[in-house]
Structure 1
Amino acid sequence: MDDNISTLKGMGLTLYEAEAYVAMTSLISGTASEIAENSGIPRSKIYDVLKGLSRKNFIEIEDGRPQTYHVKSPVEVLSREKERLGNEIDDTITRLTHIYENGMSQVQAPIWRIYGVEKIISQEVEIINRAKTSINMRIGFLFEGEGEALIKAFKNRPILKVNILASQTCYINGEEVDIIELFKDANINIQKADIPFVKVLISDSKEMMHTYTKFSEDKRNVLPETAIGIWNKYEDVAKNYDERFKNQLKKIKNKKKRKS
C-alpha cells in the first residue's frame, strides 16, 4: 500500500477517502466522475466518499451542475490533523497513565525484574517521565546509549530536581567515558563520589530501580547480556534509600565547603 494512503488511513480516513484525497492533490479540482476515474474508486461509491472527505474538512464542495470538488492544501489539512492527533494522544496518555498508576498501587508485591539493556534504559526513562518532583541517582557505570537517554529525559522534565552521585569515569565498549563531564550540561546537580559498580535511581522517595551487571575480567567493560534491573515500588524501601542518598550528598557538599 502507498505510504501516503497508509498515513491518511492512520488519520482516520477510509481507504477510498485516502485514495480520493491523494488523487485530488494532483487534480486540484474536479467533478465526481473525474475523481472516480483518476482514483480508481467505483462511481457508485464516489459521492459518499467525497461527502465523507467534506465532513472531515479535507475538501470543499462547489455547488453547480455538476458539483465541483476542490482539494484543500496538504499543509493545511495534515498540519491540522497532526495537531489533533497529538492532542488526542496526550489526553490518552494522561488518562491511561492515571489508570496504570492506580493499578500499580494495588499490586501486592510491587517488585519486578527487568532483563536486557534496552528494557532497563526504557524503564529508567519511564520512571523519570512519571516523577513529580525529584530524581536522585547513584551511577557507578553506564550502558551504551544510556547517558544520552537519561540526559534527554532530564531535559524534557526541567521542573524536576535532579541529583546524581557518580564515579568520575566508566568504560563503554573499551573507551573511557567521563561521567561527570557527560552530564555537566544537563542542568542537574552531579557530584563525584566513590560509587561501586551499581546504579540506583530513586523517584520522589516512592519508587526506585537498582541495576546490576557483570563486568569483564579487567573490571572495565560491562557485559550487557548479564544486565538486570530490580524495579521496586515499596515506598518505605524507596524512602529509606533516598534518605541515605541525601545524607551522602550532604556530607559531600559539606566536605567541599570545608576545603574551599
Structure 2
Amino acid sequence: MFDIPVNRDTLKALKIMGLTDYESRTYLALTSIISGTATEVSKVSEVPRSKIYQVLKSLEKKGFIEISRGKPLKFNVIPPKEVFENSRNEIRDSMVNAEAELNVIYENHITNVPAPIWLIHGQDKLVKKEIEIISRAKESLFVMGGFMFEGEPMKLKESLEASVKKGIATSIITVPYCMIDGKQVNVPDEVNFQGLDIKVLSIPHIKMVLRDKKEMLISFCRFQGENVLPDTSIGIWNQYQEFVETISGIYEFIWENELFNRVMDP
C-alpha cells in the first residue's frame, strides 16, 4: 500500500502544479528513493507497471524528474526546491498574464451592461472596489473622504501615489479626522504625499471615488456618535456617464469654491 506520509496540503500543491494522482505518487516515491528503475519506482509508488513508463515520461516533460540513459533506464528526482521554484514562477506568470487579459475584456465590456449600477455591501468589498476604480483611471481622479474604514487611508495613499506617478490629475477632499474603533485617525496625515492636490474641509459623511468622469462609487455608513459602524456600510457603483459627469461637475464646483468650511492646511 502506498504509505509515504504527506499531508493533504502537499498533495493539493502537487495537483495545482499540474500533476495527476499517479504522477504525484511517482514523484513522492522518487523523493524518497532519489533514483530508481521503472520497476523500483512502480513498487514504491504502487503505480501499475503497465502505467509507470507513461507516468515517468510525463514527469520528465513537466520538469519533475530526469532520465539517465542506459540499461535499464534510471529515473532521478529533481530536488523539490528547484521544482517548486520553477512551478511557482510559471504559475505566477500565468496568473499575471491571465489577470491582465481578463481585465482588458472586463473593462472593455462593463460599460455595455444595460444598467451599470450596483449596490455593494461591506467595508472590505467597498475598499477593494475603490482601489479597483482608482487603478482604471487614465486622466483624472476625484476622491471625497467624509469617513474612512480601518486601514483604508494607507491603502488609498498607495493607490493614489501610483496614479500620480502615471501623470493622472488626482485630487482629494477629506475630513480632518475620523474615529475608527474609538481612535482618532488624522486622515490628511495618513493620505497626503508630494504631488497630491488635497483640501481639508468639513464635508458630510459621504465617501466618493470618481475616475475619468466615467465611473464612480459613492459610499454611505451609519455612525454611533463619531464612530463609523462598518457593518452598515453600503456603496452605489455607477457607470451612467451622464450622471457621473454631473457629479464630477459638482465636485469641481465644491473644489473651486470651497462650499464647506476649510478646516486646516495639510
TM-score w.r.t. the length of structure 2 is 0.84
Residue deviations 1:136-160 (CA, integer Å, cap 9, x gap): 2000111223224333444565425
Counterpart-to-counterpart distance in 1, 2:16 and 2:195 = 38
Q: State which of 8, 11, 26 in structure 2 corresponds to 1:20.
A: 26
Counterpart-to-counterpart distance in 2, 1:113 and 1:44 = 57
List 4+ stretches of structure 1 deviating above 6 A.
Answer: none
Counterpart-to-counterpart distance in 2, 1:76 and 1:134 = 45
Q: What is the one-letter code of the residue matched to 1:67? A: L
Task: Give the 3-state SS of the residue equivalent to 2:131 in structure 1.
Answer: helix
The change in CA–CA distance for 1:215 and 1:25 in structure 2 (over 3 A counts) is same
Counterpart-to-counterpart distance in 2, 1:123 and 1:170 = 21
Q: State which of 8, 11, 17 in structure 1 corresponds to 2:17.
A: 11
Could you tell me how far 1:233 is from its partner in structure 2? Answer: 0.4
CA contact (8 A) 1:154 1:186 kept: no
The change in CA–CA distance for 1:112 and 1:13 in structure 2 (over 3 A counts) is same
Q: How does 1:86-97 map to 2 (within 5 A)?
A: 86-97=92-103
Q: How does 1:59-78 map to 2 (within 5 A)?
A: 59-78=65-84
Counterpart residue number, 1:163: 171
The change in CA–CA distance for 1:185 and 1:222 in structure 2 (over 3 A counts) is same
Q: What is the one-letter code of the residue matched to 1:163? A: S
The change in CA–CA distance for 1:172 and 1:58 in structure 2 (over 3 A counts) is same
Counterpart-to-counterpart distance in 1, 2:33 and 2:137 = 51
Residue deviations 1:45-73 (CA, integer Å, cap 9, x gap): 22111110011122111111211112223
TM-score w.r.t. the length of structure 1 is 0.85
Unaligned runs of 5+ in 1: none
Q: State which of 34, 42, 53 in structure 2 corresponds to 1:36.
A: 42
Could you tell me how far 1:226 is from its partner in structure 2? Answer: 2.0
Unaligned runs of 5+ in 2: 1-6
Residue deviations 1:18-69 (CA, integer Å, cap 9, x gap): 2222332333222222222333333332211111001112211111121111
Counterpart residue number, 1:173: 181
Counterpart-to-counterpart distance in 1, 2:161 and 2:239 = 24
Superposition RMSD on alpha carbons, in Å?
2.5
Task: Give the 3-state SS of the residue equivalent to 1:119 in structure 2.
Answer: helix
